[in-house]
A = this chain, B = another copy of it.
Amino acid sequence: MPRAGLDRAAVVAAGAALADEVGSTGLTMGGLAERLGVRSPSLYKHVASQDDLTRGIAALALAEAAAAVGTATQGRAGRDALAAAAHAFRDFVLTHPGRYAATIGVEPAGPNDPIAVAGLGLLDSFTAVLRSYAVEPAEVDHALRALRSFLHGFATLQSANAFQWSADVDESFEWLIALLDRGLRSTSSTQ
């Protein structure tokens, strides 16, 4: 009988793909094993536990999101960069909902945890967007959190079908980007 020849990266990648299909809560060790042509206990040679698998998926998703946002904003500045980043992030969440869902609720175990470094990478991608706005250094952290909250909130809610009412969702997203752009352009103007 030939071997499947798996390693941790392959298992995590397949888990991420499966999570995107069946949802992060629907991801099961048995289902993933079947998908890989293997019995579920075999997965434990590559992954310590289901939680460990989820952490791997989360790190992968954060790195992918950071890359998507990073490349989307290259060569752009100001509102262009903001819009590109916002769209890249939302598209990533909508096309990879299971992956992204794995990132919420995981806590990095330390500064060297792949989750922590991938998270910082995503942060860097957003920081690059802010660089072309004249945000006070003392306010960069606040702006970063605002940006992250906006995008995370919108993408998550849309992905969960929480916007079921009349208006066009894409239009709302553009409106939200305009709101952010206005707000970032005039920081520290209100007490």
Contacts and interface: CB of A to CB of B under 8 A. Distances in A.
Interface of A: 25, 104-105, 107, 119, 139, 141-143, 145-146, 148-154, 156-157, 160-163, 165-167, 169, 171-172, 175-176, 178-184, 186-187, 189-190
Nearest to A181: B190
Number of copies: 2
Given A182-B186, A189-B182, A150 B148 contact: no
B172 A145 contact: yes
Contact of A141 (B105, B152, B165, B186): B165
Contacts of A186: 182
12 contacts: A25-B105, A119-B162, A141-B165, A148-B157, A148-B162, A149-B149, A150-B153, A152-B156, A156-B156, A179-B184, A182-B186, A183-B183
A143 B178 CA distance: 11
List the 8 closest A-B pairs by CB distance, nearest first. Answer: A153-B153, A149-B153, A141-B167, A142-B175, A149-B154, A179-B183, A152-B153, A142-B172
